[in-house]
Amino acid sequence: MSYELHNFAIIIPAYNETGRVAATIAGIKKVSDADIIVVSDGSTDNTVNEASEAGATVVELPFNLGYGAALQTGFKYSLKRGYRFAVQMDADGQHDPMSIKTLIEPVIADKVDVVIGSRFLDKGNYKAPFVRRMGMYFFGIITLVLTGRRITDSTSGFQALNKKVMEFYASAAYPVDYPDADVIIMLHRQGFRFKEVPVIMHNAKKRSMHGGILNPLYYIFKMMLSIFVTLLRKE
């Protein structure tokens, strides 16, 4: 059985990704004719022009709102345009377009609501920095305890989701700064079906959105608090 890779949106949040975003879009166009939506998060470089010349629909935020908020803009736009499925991926070329099919198929087949692309399920060539790896391991254990599911890559920005999850991500529950293990726990508590699949990821030329910017200690605090209040919420 083969799926035509269209009728869904590919959402790409981009902040100052000149020189990378066009290549990412070209890579996607080789394997899929899905509509590509780039959300420029207040980029000050040539990202907007580059993305629209490469054939993407560009939604332009007037100033930087953060990764989560940019992504959420993409979901809101997709819902408004009536897309039933979406794939979110990074602009910097870290996510291999070859994996789009792997991600979207179980969602279109209605086997799950969200598919999270993991770097770590399979032996890939991706090596995360030590601090990041420790963080992933730590929050991975918390996720395992709270959801009973082993999620190897909770920070993954390479996901496929259906309309129901898009609606949830478009709500106030979605974090504006950086979605992580807290979102996985929210998905679990909302009763969404999710699974991880191995995807191909490359070491990015530049980590533009996260890592380095967020102070690790503040990040751990924020994530712990976020998970804690998620558990306190009844919904």
Partner 1 sequence: MTVQQKIFALIIGAGLFLVIIELVRRRKLAEEYSFLWLLTGFGIIVLILWYDLLEWLTRLIGARTPTTTLFIFGFVFLLLINLYFSLKLTKLTSQVKDLVQKLAISEKADR
Nearer to partner 1, 34 or 170 (CB): 170
Minimum CB–partner distance for residue 140 and partner 1 (Å): 21
CA distance 42 to 16: 8
Distance CA 36, CA 81 (A): 12
Six token digits for residue 56: 């993407």
Q: Closest Cα to residue 164, out of 117, 112, 116, 118?
A: 112
Nearer to partner 1, 26 or 225 (CB): 225
For the chain, first and last CA: distance in Å?
Answer: 38
Shortest gap between Cβ of 98 and partner 1 (angstroms)?
A: 36
> Which residue from 2, 30, 63, 125 is in contact with partner 1, where contact means CB under 8 A?
63
Q: Which amino acid is at 92?
A: D
Q: How far is the CB of 222 from partner 1 (least distance, A)?
A: 5
Q: Which of 62, 76, 108, 169 binds partner 1 (CB under 8 A)?
A: 62
Segment lying near partner 1 (by CB under 8 A), choices 26-34, 77-85, 129-137, 171-179: 171-179
Residues 6 or more apart whose Cβ sits within 8 Å of residue 214: 177, 178
* Beta carbon nearer to partner 1, 10 or 65: 65
| Tokens at 135, concatenated | 């963080």
User: Distance between CA 184 and CA 227 in Å, rounded?
Assistant: 10
Q: Can residue 148 be called a binding residue for partner 1 (CB under 8 A)?
A: no
**Site stretch for partner 1 (CB under 8 A), options 2-10, 43-51, 113-121, 225-233:** 225-233
Among the residue ranges 29-37, 75-83, 169-177, 200-208, the one whose residues contact partner 1 (CB under 8 A): 169-177
Among 4, 110, 130, 172, binds partner 1 (CB under 8 A): 172
Cβ-contact 116, 194 below 8 angstroms: yes
**Residue 189 is a binding residue for partner 1 (CB under 8 A):** no
Smallest distance from partner 1 to CB 224, Å: 10
Is the Cβ of residue 141 or residue 225 nearer to partner 1 in the bound state?
A: 225
Task: Give me the count of residues in the chain.
Answer: 235
Q: Round to whole Å and give the CA distance between 54 and 135.
A: 36
- Report yes or no: 40 and 58 within 8 Å, Cβ to Cβ: yes
- How many degrees, rounded to 5, is the angle at CA 11 between CA 8 and CA 15? 165
* Number of residues forming the site for partner 1 (CB under 8 A): 15
Residues 202-221: x/- map of binding to partner 1 (CB under 8 A)? Answer: ----------------x--x
Binding site for partner 1 (CB under 8 A): 62-63, 172-173, 175, 177, 218, 221-222, 225-226, 228-229, 232-233
